[in-house]
Amino acid sequence: MRKPAVLLAGMALSALVLIGLTVSADRSSASFTAATTNPGNTFGSATLTASNDKSAAGSLISISNLVPGDTANRTVVISNTGNADFTYTGAISSTATTALWTDTTNGLQVTVKRGATTLYTGPLKDLALAASPTIAATTGTDTLTFDFSLPASAGNSMQTLSQDFTITYTATQLAGAAR
């Protein structure tokens, strides 16, 4: 009869160990939790838009019957119509070239100014404008004055020529910032 008592004692001990493990397991897995949220987060990117008062429908300049010594003064206003500040550069191009374009001494010349500051002076074909000051979003503008000329030294080789060109103003947003 000793065997059933030992067996019973072993079973009782096993039951106590299991109860102890269960109690300690319950204690180690119990915890409190809480949650909070940040609803309604959004990002919206800016719109970079530039325009000028001599749009694609209107030329900056169109002159016929040009003779050596003629000059022409024109202005263009660059506007920031987007919602991000920018600077812009200017570059010139032509689809077809004549001596009015290629002759850097006797061909078309230009001086470009911002107020009293001269930005460029020289052959029309080499026109390049460095980055402008910052043009403010929505309402910022910049006015450029172009003084075009056909030098008095232009000879008979410049007769009956016609030269087209396009000036492109390329806006670049300012660098991003920590917000």
Confidence of residue 51 (pLDDT cuts 50, 70, 90): very high
8 A C-beta contact, residue 124 and residue 101: yes
Note the pLDDT tens digit of each residue in 66-85: 999 999 999 999 999 999 99
Query: How does residue 179 score in pLDDT terms, banded at 50, 70 and 90?
Result: confident
User: pLDDT tens for residues 96-132?
Assistant: 999 999 999 999 999 999 999 999 999 999 999 999 9
Arch. (CATH architecture) of 66-172: Sandwich (2.60)
Question: Is pLDDT above 90 for 169?
Answer: yes
Q: Which residues contact 162 (CB under 8 A, 6 or more apart)?
A: 98, 100
Q: What is the DSSP string of 53-90?
A: SS-TTS-S----S--TT-EEEEEEEEEE-SSS-EEEEE
Lookup: tokens for 14: 């096993």
Dist. CA 84–CA 176, nearest whole Å:
10
Is pLDDT above 90 for 88?
A: yes
Mean pLDDT (the chain) is: 88
